[in-house]
Structures are given as structure tokens and as C-alpha cells.
Amino acid sequence: MNPVNYLYLAALLFTIGAAGVLIRRNAIVVFMCVELMLNACNLAFVTFSRMHGNLDGQIIAFFTMVVAAAEVVVGLAIIVSLFRSRHSASVDDASLMKL
């Protein structure tokens, strides 16, 4: 199959993730959408790696996975601490500092 199709899929996944970040209101779901965007990037990297016939893209995909894992650790820690003090993980409720 033509590898370009995977690029379309990656762009689609990225767009779904970005739309989710903007639309969803639960911090955990927003964060999952960000992870979807990172995975879309991985798919694009691997596809380009295949097209160019070098391994850079596949190596970068590994780095992205490690970074995403580190981000999950930090992100969940922050979101859980917010949830414990407010009993809500909604990003709309977190509005102490509106102008």
C-alpha cells in the first residue's frame, strides 16, 4: 500500500486529538487527546522513515514514547493533586484566576 495513506491517517489522528483538547472539559480526557496527538506524530515519523529508507524516524519514535511516558508521570501527578483538593478534574472549574 502507498505509504502516503499512513500520513493521511496520522494527520487525521492529530486533528482528532487537537479537536479533543479544545472541546473536552475533563483534564484527564484532554490529556489523553494530547497523547493521541503524540502518537499521530509517531505514525508520521515511522511512515517518513519508511519512505526515506533511513532509520532516523524510527529512533525518534522511541524517544517520543519515552517523553510521552515521562509526561504521563508528571501530568497525572498534577491532575490527581488538583482532583484531590477540588474533587473535580474539570478544566472549567479551575478558574480562580479569571480576569
Partner 1 sequence: MSATAVHSLWTMAGGVTSAAPDEKFKAPVIEYTQLTPVLIVIGVAVLGVLVEAFVPRRARYYTQVFLAVAALVAAFAAVIGLAAAGYGTTKAHIAAMGAIAVDGPALFLQGTILLTSLVAVFTFAERRLDPESHGSRVDSFAAQAASVPGSDSEKAAVKAGFTTTEVFPLLLFAVAGMLVFPAANDLLTLFVALEVFSLPLYLLCAVARRKRLMSQEAAVKYFLLGAFSSAFLLFGIALLYGYAGSVSYAQIATVVDGSIQQIDPALADTMGNDVLLLIGGAMILTGLLFKVGAVPFHMWTPDVYQGAPTPVTGFMAAATKVAAFGALLRLLYVVLPGLTWDLRPVMWGIAIVTMVGGAIVAITQTDIKRLLAYSSIAHAGFILAGVIAATPQGISSVLFYLATYSFVTVGAFAVVTLVRDAGGEATHLSKWAGLGRRSPLVAAVFAVFLLAFAGIPLTSGFSGKFAVFKAAAEGGASGLVVVGVISSAIAAFFYIRVIVLMFFSEPKADGPTVAVPSPLTMTTIAVGVAVTLVLGLAPQYFLDLASQAGVFVR
Binding-site ranges for partner 1 (CB under 8 A): 1-3, 7, 10, 14, 17-18, 21, 27, 30-31, 34, 37-38, 40-41, 44-45, 47-48, 50-54, 56-57, 59-60, 63-64, 67, 70-71, 74-75, 77-79, 81-82, 84-86, 91, 94-97, 99
The minimum distance between CB 33 and partner 1, in angstroms, equals 9
The minimum distance between CB 87 and partner 1, in angstroms, equals 10
The minimum distance between CB 15 and partner 1, in angstroms, equals 10
Burial class (CB within 10 angstroms; exposed 0-12, middle 13-18, buried 19+) of 63: exposed
DSSP conformation class of 87: S
Per-residue DSSP letters for 28-78?
A: HHHHHHHHHHHHHHHHHHHHHHHHHT-SHHHHHHHHHHHHHHHHHHHHHHH
